[in-house]
Amino acid sequence: MVVGIVIDQMRWDYLYRYYDRYGNGGFKRLLNEGFSCENTFINYLPSYTAVGHTCIFTGSVPALDGITGNDWTDQLTGGHMYCTADSSVASVGVPNAVEGQMSPRNLLVSTVTDELRIATNYQSKVIGVSLKDRAAILPAGHTANAAFWLDDASGYFISSTYYLKQLPDWVNQFNSQNKIGQFIKDGWNTLYPLNTYILSDSDNKAYEGKLAGETAAVFPHNIKNAYEKNKGFFRPTPFGNTLTLEFAAAAIDGYQLGKGVATDFLTINCASTDYVGHTFGPNSIEIEDTYLRLDQDLAKFFSMLDTKIGKDQYFIFLTADHGAANAVGYMQQNKLPAGFFISQLILDNLDRLLVSKFREEKLILSGMNYQINFDMKKINEKHLDFDAIKKSVVDYLQLQPGVNFAVDVSKIADAPIPESIKTMIINGYNSKRSGPVEVIFNAGWLESYAKTGTTHGSWNPYDTHIPLVFMGWGIRQGKSNATIHMTDIAPTVAALLHIQMPNASIGTPIRELIK
């Protein structure tokens, strides 16, 4: 059995920042028994959730796999697209739920999970699990037996008719237990005394966000009250990870994973780390407590695998879809450079600039994924000079505070941008799904909506330096400081399984970790 675990928004340094506080069965076990690739980097832009999960399991990049963001603007129609949206399917588990109209059809290539199914003539079982639809669906691939994600309104794990006609009995049984109610009834207090969290900033900082109904970002958090006001507020608590791993354990029993004639594959995304990070920031006590609790949850999960599958009968890899920047407020209070940019203000000013030059309004459709999207239908109908329009936009952006580079991607070969960043832009550019102008902001600069907490998406190491640890069957113990890319993960898994790598993979197997 293979278990691929993606910890959402986990920066590489979290492996070691809290190392002395971890127990022996979770992150420490991975590091001490497994092989850690210490310098693993994302090699495309933007560094977002759907893009990361896709890259991990395809070994490919947005230029080839088509998943250019969580959302994107279709360059042929000008329409908005969500990465896993599929109006041709229906929700399974909660009737008529829009959250269930999801599938992997927007993914243009195969995953390593697809290749395993093909290699075993579909005898292998593949299951994807996450709170997020995209993080359950994209890793599991096109041929998965099932993918399951959380419907906030009901508190149930659901799926879609792409996979199933109805939920299996074991899922209905799990959903009936009201686990969310059990998790939130006592609130969220720190696992250990508050004064022992010396690796984090003090509680109740101005840059921390608040849960619904709170007047201050302090422990204990009344998550029951927050959940009653908004069902989405279960996600930014550590208990979302606990729920996910318990559901994953139930899936192992429900599908009898690891017990058949062929190797099975379970993909798991622990998403609450992302929600907590976005809300409170990487230097909050909340994020530290979340990782200490996740460490305990992982230890319990690994122990279960030892018992049910057998220590020599599975291997795990643990990685992240992206990292996160320090909160701007945290940076500024410590005299480090950081700032905010306001996307809408930039777009409004660009509209006025283009009207003055080209006598047409609304030539820009949107700013998304650090890219500018244009109304190509209008530009073509009016016979406007598109190169001149792009040049005007680039020239304006280059003068704005916080902008490091702006580039017309069609002319990137001649742009004065460091080669490593240039390669990331090219790897992330899909002509049918990416905006023609790319913007790179200064290190530490975030979109203005992140006045509290943090976000991600840039080329900088805080967003792109991710953990990658393998442990179990076929893996030798050790670590490497060689530069590894996210695109190398899927080919490595394929090499261990002796199957074909995914059909658009550009990565290379990590030879050092294979016994």
Q: Which residues are catalytic?
A: 49
d(CA 35, CA 71): 34
159: how many CB neighbours lie within 10 A of its CB?
Answer: 28
d(CA 370, CA 375): 17
d(CA 147, CA 168): 12
- Cβ 49 vs Cβ 134: under 8 Å: yes
Produce one character per residue of 268-298: b if its CB has 16 or more CB atoms within 10 Å, e if not: bbbbbbbbbbbbbbbbbbbbbbbbbbbbbbb
Q: Identify which of 422, 439, 451 has the alpha carbon closest to the alpha carbon of residue 367.
A: 439
- Cβ 364 vs Cβ 396: under 8 Å: no
Question: Rounded to 5 degrees, what are φ and ψ at 244?
Answer: -60, -45
Q: Identify which of 192, 201, 190, 189 has the alpha carbon closest to the alpha carbon of residue 17.
A: 201
Q: Identify which of 348, 353, 326 has the alpha carbon closest to the alpha carbon of residue 337.
A: 326
Written as one string, the DSSP assignment of 21-82 is GS-TTTHHHHHHHSEEEEEEE--SS---HHHHHHHHHHS--HHHH---SSEEE-TTT--EEE
| Angstrom distances, CA of residue 152 to CA of 135, 181, 227, 257, 312 | 15, 13, 10, 27, 37
> Taking the C-alpha atoms of 252, 254, 259 and 263 in order, what is their torsion angle to the nearest 10 degrees?
-60
How many residues make up the chain in this entry?
515
Q: Which residues contact 452 (CB under 8 A, 6 or more apart)?
A: 206, 207, 208, 209, 210, 279, 280, 281, 327, 329
- Cβ 457 vs Cβ 395: under 8 Å: no
> Taking the C-alpha atoms of 408, 412, 414 and 417 in order, what is their torsion angle to the nearest 10 degrees?
100
Tokens of 153: 């309104």
